[in-house]
Amino acid sequence: MSTRHFFLLAFLFSNPAALAGEPEIGAKAAIVASPAKGHLSEKMQALLETITTPEMALKESRKYQQNGQYGLAKVVLQHGIELAQSSGIEFVELTNELEYAMPVLQAKEHLVMGEPDQAQNILNGLAEKFSTDQRRVNEVNALLGALSQSRLRASAKLDNERVVARDVRHHLTQYYNEYGVFPNYAELNEILPPGAELLQNYEIVYFKSVPNAYRLVLRNINNPKNLLKIEATGLIK
């Protein structure tokens, strides 16, 4: 199980699709604009041609959502909506997934990852869009209530990054003071081996050095989108 899936499963309440409840068949569903086919790549158009039913579209979209590929999931959902009858249950279910369940999942992920501002933007939009649906208002408000915890995570993450950056700089400065140059990559791996306690949540994805400067990029193992850049001077191009 990936870290993304573990955090999302451990975080809150229920499956995002379940948050929306059973769609009301008689309800008027919003018409969702789909991208013009000519604006899609040949590979994307070929993929959509293999999705021939609304059920397939919903299934494939949820796979992409689980992998964090929300843009691709959105296109697949819009394709499924085109395939569905506008008055049928499939249309309502796909529209619900696109307009509510998927944004809720994205907001949850941002909350777990300590990205409260991104989560709040999504949730505020949902609160406004579904202001007349009391059940959804309650669900969105519950998630908005979790923002304080997410902000604590964000603060802890920032504090951790500062500690890691400080300690990494300390090790490299010590090496420079002893040898008069900054280490090369092989020497860096001796100073900061992959199993070092300092790097327990990070991995080195880039390093370049010259005698009097360096640039180092660390990636957070638990959140691969989070890159920590550490450098001495701006001499390296």
Tens digits of per-residue pLDDT, 119-169?
A: 999 999 999 999 999 999 999 999 988 887 777 766 666 667 888 888 899
Which residues does residue 217 pair with via DSSP β-bridges, in sequence order?
A: 206, 229
Mind spelling out the 3-state secondary structure of 68-84? CCHHHHHHHHHHHHHHC
- pLDDT given for residue 9 in this prediction: 45
Q: What are the sequence ranges of the domains in the chain? A: 3-145, 151-232
- Mean pLDDT on 209-229: 87
Check whether 16 has a pLDDT greater than 80.
Answer: no
Check whether 18 has a pLDDT greater than 50.
Answer: no
- pLDDT given for residue 7 in this prediction: 43
- pLDDT given for residue 94 in this prediction: 95
User: What is the chain's mean pLDDT, rounded?
Assistant: 81
What are the pLDDT digits (tens) for 69-116? Answer: 999 999 999 999 999 977 689 999 999 999 999 999 999 988 877 788
CA-derived radius of gyration, the chain? 23
Check whether 28 has a pLDDT greater than 60.
Answer: no
Q: Which amino acid is at 214?
A: Y
Check whether 8 has a pLDDT greater than 60.
Answer: no
Q: Is the dihedral of CA 162, 166, 169, 171 positive or negative?
A: negative
